[in-house]
Amino acid sequence: MYTIAIVEDDRQQAESLKEYLLRYAAENGEAFSVKTFSNAVAFLENYTAVYDVVFMDIKMPYLNGIAAAHKLREVDQSVLLFFITSLTQYAVRGYEVDALNYIVKPVGYDEFALKFRKAMDKLAEKKSAELLVPTDMGYKKLSPAAIYYIEVRGHHCKYHTTEGEYKQYQSIKSVEEKLSPYGFARCNNCYLVNLRFVSSVKDYTAVVGGDELQISHPRKKEFMQRLKAFFDGENNA
């Protein structure tokens, strides 16, 4: 089951979008849990990263959708984000917050279904890459996009993520094999780094998610090559 939030101050628009989601689920054999919010302040209050997809109206009282999306990205990097708007000139600002797409009001089902299919494809990709790690409350699914870096401590891997820190008994090699296709590379034997979160490199130190990690001499050349290739690919995408 996928969990979806609709943040829309127009009740009729919110209900229409919810009906589209339920229709899509029925036609495609999916299951959705849908929650609606009448404004972004209520949505962001005590937010936890439990949603797979968020539909965000741009023009709302108290806090507009663009500002709300920036606040959302501070706490959740991996949720898929759609903007809903009649103001198409603002929709291009979705790139600032890594929005997947936008839907122009009034929303028709055919257009909705076509664009939402892309979200479902991405969710399928994310699901195949998710890691299941133990927590005090049970188990936590982690998307690669939510991981800053993984640190080896004895026979455990410690996950430093946008949602907290988690530890699992496993080898770093097994994690590296799974995450390598998603832009991860070793900067030394102790750290497997999400290259997306490398903000700077100076001499033999990389800043990743605000933490300073040592780059070993034997791994520096390969690490820098992987880093350059990653960002070249991002910029040319």
Can you give the CATH number for the domain in which 10 is found? 3.40.50.2300
Q: Omega of the bond prior to 181 within 30 degrees of 0, cis?
A: no
179 and 119 within one domain: no
19 and 120 within one domain: yes
Q: How many CB atoms lie within 10 A of CB 148?
A: 21
119 and 69 within one domain: yes
Q: What pLDDT does residue 65 have?
A: 85
Distance (Å, whole) CA 169 – CA 11: 48
Q: How many CB atoms lie within 10 A of CB 98?
A: 14
138 and 88 within one domain: no
120 and 61 within one domain: yes
105 and 6 within one domain: yes
Residue 109 near residue 23 (C-beta atoms within 8 A) = yes
22 and 112 within one domain: yes
Residue finishing a domain among 114, 129, 144: 129
Residue finishing a domain among 95, 129, 163: 129
220 and 135 within one domain: yes
Domain range for residue 59? Answer: 2-129
**Predicted TM-score (pTM) of this structure:** 0.59
Residue finishing a domain among 112, 129, 146: 129
123 and 142 within one domain: no
Distance (Å, whole) CA 159 – CA 179: 13
141 and 110 within one domain: no
Q: Provide the domain count of the chain.
A: 2
159 and 119 within one domain: no
Positions of the chain with pLDDT under 50: 235-237
Q: What pLDDT does residue 141 have?
A: 76
Q: What pLDDT does residue 94 have?
A: 58
Q: What pLDDT does residue 89 have?
A: 65
Q: What pLDDT does residue 195 have?
A: 93
Name the residue among 32, 37, 38, 7 with its Cα closest to residue 20: 32
Distance (Å, whole) CA 91 – CA 3: 24
Instruction: Report the CATH number that the domain containing residue 150 is assigned in CATH.
Output: 2.40.50.1020
Distance (Å, whole) CA 101 – CA 119: 9
- Maximum Cα interatomic distance, the chain, rounded to a whole number of Å: 60
150 and 101 within one domain: no
